[in-house]
């Protein structure tokens, strides 16, 4: 990425109306219009972009694994002539999704084996994952929950709300609830308010988090009404999901700042994807742009071993190279924690470049971002004047 390309990536551009007629602009800010006009068929997408053979075959087969659905807002970020467009690779199916890889898993994070109640994952001692819906505004082709999301996977999500509330009431060790799915922000404001209110009635639940890609796929949903409702339930945190700087448009920035002004701490969870964000300049532009949107880069995930994702996965060494290329070269606030979700239920495992060169009882030899070595002495077992 050249300096000029970096400057372009850092711009908060509005890309609407793009593939839509001018008369659509007056309805563009209505999130319900956006949802009604999602791209979810081969015919609709062929009217807008020039598909490759691999993409066309992937779309024809997409209903067998994970539905295709793309909001007009996100569709406008797709380059119609470039099959390697980083936005296009995230949402348009490809025939590679049908490739068989024996290392891949239908449930790569082992959620089903940690589900005491249908729809509730309890892997960590004090935290639970509450799967409130199986629907999203758009569907990422590397979705960790493709087995249950979009309604065409091999399983059906059958969340038992009342049983979940009862389980939480009877499990006082739980202090943190993460709402995910699917995407919780697809719910009406009233329905989401009802869920949050119910959780707030449980005394030992200290704070609630929402995982959502709605601010990226459907920023029109981030209304002032929604923000006014959310701020009633503090402490409330939201983790968004942006992978490429092009996703952070002016509409997205407006929605994120609206959430921040409502007092909601915002973090971003990216997935390292081949041909999307697997290089240092793209990652640097992304994290800088996130900070301009008042979002802390939180996690950089190694792509899970999801069935049909081998064409999107990159090496762990590439992830370490990116972290090394950020550490010391930009503000610490901009550096996410690189993690691998342990296959089959190991949880998030942090992975970092090795900055410890040598460690003995007396000292630690450290390497900084420039490759220079420094010695930090370990404290003695007893003060010198007592020896």
Q: List, for residues 186-229, the tens digit of each pLDDT value.
A: 999 999 999 999 999 999 999 999 999 999 999 999 999 999 99
Same domain, 128 and 237: yes
Question: Do 12 and 84 belong to one domain?
Answer: yes
Residue 100 lies in a domain: no
Which of 6, 27, 80, 124 is an active site residue?
124
The token pair at 35 is 């949802």
| Helix (H/G/I), strand (E/B), else coil: 146 | coil
User: Apex CA 70: angle with CA 132 and CA 226, to 5°?
Assistant: 50
Catalytic residue among 65, 89, 94, 140: 140
Within a domain: 116: yes
109 marked as binding residue:
no
- Whether residue 208 sits in one domain with residue 86: no
Helix axes 280-292, 316-326, angle to 10 degrees: 60
Within a domain: residue 103? no
pLDDT at res. 190: 98
Active-site residue flag, 303: no
Report the pLDDT value the prediction gives residue 17, as an integer from 0 to 100. Answer: 66
Block residue for tokens 């800088």: 288
User: For 19-37, how does the pLDDT look when each residue is reduced to its tens digit (9 = 90+)?
Assistant: 988 778 789 999 999 999 9
Q: Are 56 and 124 part of one and the same domain?
A: no
Mean pLDDT of 48-52: 96
Annotated binding-site residue? 136 = yes
pLDDT at 16 over 90: no
pLDDT at 383: 53
- Full domain range(s) for residue 31: 3-95
Does a structural domain hold residue 177? yes
Q: What is the mean pLDDT of residues 311-330?
A: 97
Provide the pLDDT confidence category of residue 386 given band limits of 50, 70 and 90.
very low
Known active-site residue 100: no
Residue 135 domain-assigned (yes or no): yes
Alpha helix segments (H runs only) across the chain: 3-9, 31-36, 42-46, 53-61, 72-75, 88-91, 161-169, 189-200, 214-217, 224-230, 250-261, 280-292, 316-326
Query: For residue 116, which of 41, 174, 61 has the smallest C-alpha distance?
Result: 174
Q: Are 284 and 376 within one domain?
A: no
Known active-site residue 348:
yes
Question: Do residue 180 and residue 315 come from a single domain?
Answer: yes
pLDDT at residue 153 greater than cutoff 80? no
The C-alpha atoms of residue 268 and residue 287 are separated, in whole angstroms, by 9
Domain assignment present for residue 106? The answer is no
Same domain, 29 and 8: yes
Q: What is the CATH number of the domain that holds 180?
A: 3.20.20.70
Indicate if 148 and 14 belong to the same structural domain. Answer: no
Which residues are within 8 A (CB) of 194 and not within 5 positions of it... i.e. 6 or more apart? none
Supply the pLDDT for residue 373. Answer: 95
> Is 123 a residue of the active site?
yes
Per the structure, the count of domains in the chain is 3
């Amino acid at each position: 990425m050249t300096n000029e390309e970096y400057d372009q990536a850092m711009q908060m551009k509005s890309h609407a109306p793009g593939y839509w007629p001018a008369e659509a602009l007056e309805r563009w800010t209505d999130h319900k219009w956006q949802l009604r006009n999602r791209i979810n068929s081969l015919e609709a997408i062929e009217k807008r972009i020039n598909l490759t053979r691999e993409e066309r075959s992937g779309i024809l087969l997409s209903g067998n694994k994970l539905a295709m659905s793309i909001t007009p807002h996100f569709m406008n970020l797709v380059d119609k002539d470039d099959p390697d467009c980083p936005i296009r690779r995230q949402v348009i199916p490809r025939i590679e999704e049908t490739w068989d890889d024996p290392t891949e898993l239908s449930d790569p994070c082992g959620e089903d084996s940690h589900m005491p109640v249908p729809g509730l994952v309890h892997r960590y001692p004090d935290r639970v994952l509450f799967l409130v819906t199986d629907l999203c505004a758009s569907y990422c082709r590397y979705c960790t929950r493709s087995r249950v999301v979009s309604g065409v996977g091999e399983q059906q999500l059958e969340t038992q709300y009342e049983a979940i509330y009862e389980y939480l009431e009877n499990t006082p060790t739980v202090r943190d609830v993460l709402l995910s799915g699917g995407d919780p922000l697809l719910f009406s404001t009233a329905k989401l308010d009802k869920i949050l209110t119910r959780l707030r009635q449980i005394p030992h639940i200290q704070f609630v988090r929402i995982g959502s890609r709605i601010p990226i796929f459907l920023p029109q949903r981030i209304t002032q009404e929604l923000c006014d409702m959310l701020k009633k339930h503090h402490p409330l945190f939201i983790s968004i999901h942006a992978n490429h700087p092009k996703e952070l448009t002016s509409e997205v920035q407006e929605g994120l700042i609206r959430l921040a002004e409502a007092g909601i701490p915002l973090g971003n969870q990216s997935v390292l994807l081949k041909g999307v964000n697997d290089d240092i300049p793209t990652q640097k532009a992304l994290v800088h742009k996130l900070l301009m949107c008042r979002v802390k880069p939180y996690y950089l995930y190694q792509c899970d071993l999801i069935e049909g994702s081998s064409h999107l996965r990159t090496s762990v060494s590439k992830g370490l190279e990116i972290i090394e290329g950020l550490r010391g070269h930009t503000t610490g606030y901009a550096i996410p924690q690189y993690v691998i979700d342990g296959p089959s239920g190991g949880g998030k495992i942090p992975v970092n470049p090795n900055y410890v060169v040598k460690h003995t009882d007396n000292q630690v030899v450290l390497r900084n971002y420039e490759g220079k070595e420094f010695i930090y002495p370990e404290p003695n077992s007893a003060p010198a004047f007592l020896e």
